[in-house]
Every structure is written in structure tokens, then in C-alpha cells.
Amino acid sequence: MKRLLFPLLLLSTWAMPGVVSAQKAGGTTGWTADNGNGTFTNPLQWGDWPDPDVIRVGDWFYMVSTSMHYVPGCPILRSKDLVNWEMAGYAVDRYNEDPRYDMKGGTLYLNGSWAATIRHHNGLFYVGFCTPSGWGTEKGHFSICTAKDVKGPWTRTIFPEFLYDPGLFFDDDGKVYVVHGQGTLYLTELAPDALSVKGKAVKIWQGGIERPQGSSAPNGKYGMEGSHVYKINGYYYIANPAGGTEGWQVCLRSKSITGPYESKIIYQDESSYPNNGLHQGGMVQLKNGDWWFIIMQDRGPIGRVPHLLPVKWVDGWPILGDNGKGFVTGRKPDVGKTFAINAPATSDEFNTPQLGLQWQWNHNPDNSKWSLASRKGYMRLQASYAASLKEARNTLTQRVQGPFSQGTVEMDITGLKEGDVAGFGVFQDPYAFIGVKKEAGHTVLVMVNDGKTIDSIGGISQTKIWFSAVATDKGFTASFSYSLDGKKFIPFGDQLKMGLGLPWTANRFALFNFNTIAGSEGGDADFNWFHFTGGRQ
């Protein structure tokens, strides 16, 4: 039942436990791996940076990650020491191959970029990824994006061929290949510019890898995917994960790129986040000759998080971590210098002409209905029609983080119109949000969880309101609160049990404004800032 706002305020003037004031929240970036004493603690980022691949170009390391349907796509981070990272850019501005990326005629959740690969050759960066036509299908397409600078501009070439979980490789004889496939692995030669397929796919590996001792995965043999290719001391090495969430890392090697290949499990450990094993990633060599491996671990609705592991070569095999087992804290890579502690940006005052690189839209945005310039210092979102948040255009998102993260926003609701629903939430399937709705000429505070309105309060007359959401990996819950003065936050609604109804994409903080009346012209929601706090506890 809808309640009036003012009687509630007489009873609820305490701050929500765990809620940090907006002023304090803006000063932190969340989880950092650097301990400040020459050591680091995994994970590198405790957020959703799945399917990592990594290269070194000069003094910089670059890591690319999967981003599915979020836009811009294929986020690229950079670092000087493999521990402290910052956003560098995106390889894909938007997806133009299907109107459903614009939420016209449907949606394309789980599409976009899968299992990205990154390489640098003859002055160009190359990022490749596959786009399945649907979950569990063997159809889709493959893309290569090229740029002289990771900041862009990038040029994308879409292939008619579908090369699943691609690993791009430039051989020293001038030939270019992609290793791809799931279970059965194939080698496809590309043209010298890597922008078209030259030859037919050649089968180079078939068969499963027996579950190693100590794994919590069911007994049996498991196929491989997520290939990344290297040539070291005359051997071709292909790094592959197997076993899924409880998985492990495998390496194939051969003197010939077409095989035959022998295999070895090079890492199997679940101790850092039982029972989830580390699997899938890429390897990189430092200037001093050392090798390191960045590898991911499923952490449920928080996401698939990257870890950094040292590589020790044993009998010609790259063995990860501590003799193939756990590695949580250790000495940082020896890059010859010490660099400042850093992490990808989170908080945003919305006072720059360009949108911060920490943000991604849910599907392609409608660029005519958002602005950082219409009102200086604000992100303005203009509502378009949508039946629910899942179909709403211009939902602006960034990753939640573990083990704890809190997002807080200040929103001006002066410009809202009849039918508008605007606010702040945690988005996945299910999703939940706290916001305001304009109905029958009134402004109503609402909390929606899994598509259902859990609570509502009428009688809001002010023009500013503050919302906060707290996410934690303890039970994977998110809680919500609001404030009328930006200081005292009042819990509202119930907890969201964060899930993964959209497989392989983690939960995200989300700013939104949509209109529920078909044919109506929506109003404006102005977000003054987004403040993030979180990290180690």
C-alpha cells in the first residue's frame, strides 16, 4: 500500500548501516590489489572483467575483456606493472549489425563481444572477438578491430565466419592464424592483414581433459575453449581453460602449429574462493624475461575476476602459481620501477565533456536522449517508452565490486513528466531499484524488486533526492535506501538476491529514466554525481 512520506520521516532518521556519506564515498575507487609494500593480493580487480587476454607493448601492458551486450564494448585496461590498472579505451563504439542492439524489435542480451583476444603487430593493435547468434548455438560471426592507439579510433571488420573463443596469433613467418572452437579446436589462417579468412579451418585438437585430482567438478573429461596462442623457443603453446566454474588451466604444445599437440594441466586450485577454480586467460613476458599469467575466477553475481599468477618454466611447460597451485599474495612483477597505486575509475561528478570510461550503456544508447552538456555538471537522461527497466534505453551502468561496494547518486527530478520512472538500481536478472515515479500528477517513491513494486511512498514535493545501493558477496545481496537531505539515509523496500539470469554477465549499478506510457514524450532526470565506495574490509 502506498504511504505518505512525512509520517515516515518522524520515525526513520537514522543512517542505514554500512552507508557512507556522499562526501566520503566520492574519494575511493574500490578494490586495489597493490599492498603498498612491494607485494600484491589477488584478485587484480574484484569485479567483472572476464576472459582476460594481455600483451605488452614497450613499457605498457594492455588487457582486454569480454563485455557482452554492454556498449561501448571490449574494454581495454593498461598498466605499467601488471598490478595497478586504469581504463584505456574500448574497441567497439556500438553494434550496428542488428536493430535489436538499439532495442528495436527485441533485445540482444548475451550478444556483442565474447572472449576477446588482443595482439599488437606492425604498429597496430588488434582486438578480436566472437558474437554467437544465440546462447548454446554454433552460429554467429567473428570480428577484428584495429587501431593505432587503444584510445581509438577503432575500425571493426565483421567476418561471415564464426570463430568461437578466438585466439589471434601472428607467426614469425608472416602468417596469421586464429585458434578457435569449443571441445574440438580448429586453426584458421587469415589474410596477412588479418581482416579476412584465407584458408579452411583445420582440426588440431579433439578430446577431453580428465578432471584433475582435487577439483570439485564432477568426474569425467572436459573439452577446452578460450584459446590463446604463443610461440616460445620453437614451440607453439595454446593456453586453454577446461571445467567451467570449477575449472583449471591447460596448455597444449607442439613443434608445428597444426600439431600434433601434447597437453598438460598447468594450474588447478580452488582455495581462494571455494569451489571456483581459476581458468581462462593470457600470458605475457616482461622486459627482464619473466612470464606472468592473468587468469579469471568466477565469483558468482559479482562477476568473473582477474588474478595475476607468476609463471615458472618446468621441462618446457609454463607452470602457474605455486607449482600449479594457489597464489593469493606475492611479490609484484619486476618491471624495474615502482608505480603509484591505481584502479579503474568509479565515482563520477559528470563535469567533463565526455562520458567517463567506467560507464557502459545497456545496449546501444540513443544519443539524442542523453547529455552531459544540457545542464553543466549533470548527466541528463531523457525518458523513452519501455515496459520495464529490462527494455529501457539509455540505462547507464558500471560494475558492482566485492567484497562490498556502495553506489550513491544525487538526482534532480524537476524535469520528470507523467509516466516517467527514474532512479538507481542494481541490474541483472532479477534486478531491483529505488526511484521515483510520476503518476496522476504526483511524485511517488518506489522500490521495485524482480519486476514487482515492493513499497511506495507518496507526498514527495522536493526537487532533489538521493539514492544508495549496497552490494556484497556475502549471500550476494543488495540493499537500498534513500535520503531527502543527502546525509541521513533511510532503508527502503527489501533486499535483492543478486542472480545470474543473464548468464556470464555480472550485476551492475544502473542509472535510468524511462516512461511507461506508450506514445508519450518523457521528461528529464538529472544526475548530479555518482559516488562509489568499497574495497577491502
Amino acid, res. 294 = I
Quote the CA–CA distance of 500 and 508 in Å, as a whole number.
11
Burial of 346 (0-12, 13-18, 19+ CB in 10 A): buried
**Residue where the block lists cell 558468482:** 300
Asked if residues 487 and 499 have their Cβ atoms less than 8 Å apart, the reply is no
Catalytic residue selected from 34, 48, 51, 526: 51
Quote the CA–CA distance of 163 and 169 in Å, as a whole number.
13
Q: Which three cell numbers stand for residue 459?
A: 507526498
Asked if residues 327 and 309 have their Cβ atoms less than 8 Å apart, the reply is yes
Rg of the chain in Å (alpha carbons): 24
Q: Which three cell numbers stand for residue 133?
A: 547468434
Quote the CA–CA distance of 352 and 356 in Å, as a whole number.
8
- If you count them, how many residues does the chain have? 537
Catalytic residue selected from 34, 48, 81, 225: 225
> Is the previous residue joined to 367 through a cis bond, with omega within 30 degrees of 0?
no
Quote the CA–CA distance of 403 and 475 in Å, as a whole number.
11
Amino acid, res. 69 = H
Q: Which three cell numbers stand for residue 228?
A: 590463446
Asked if residues 499 and 377 have their Cβ atoms less than 8 Å apart, the reply is no
Asked if residues 168 and 179 have their Cβ atoms less than 8 Å apart, the reply is no
Amino acid, res. 170 = F
Asked if residues 144 and 122 have their Cβ atoms less than 8 Å apart, the reply is no
3-state helix, strand, coil in the chain (%, to 5): 5, 45, 50
Strands 384-385 and 508-515: parallel
Q: Reply yes or no on whether 86 is catalytic.
A: no
Q: Which helix (H) or strand (E) element contains residue 5?
A: helix 5-11
Asked if residues 403 and 300 have their Cβ atoms less than 8 Å apart, the reply is no
Candidates 342, 346, 365, 363; CA nearest to 505 is 363
Burial of 344 (0-12, 13-18, 19+ CB in 10 A): buried
Q: Reply yes or no on whether 51 is catalytic.
A: yes
Asked if residues 200 and 190 have their Cβ atoms less than 8 Å apart, the reply is no
Asked if residues 332 and 292 have their Cβ atoms less than 8 Å apart, the reply is no
Quote the CA–CA distance of 360 and 345 in Å, as a whole number.
13
Asked if residues 365 and 394 have their Cβ atoms less than 8 Å apart, the reply is yes
Quote the CA–CA distance of 13 and 363 in Å, as a whole number.
39
Give catalytic residue positions.
Answer: 51, 225
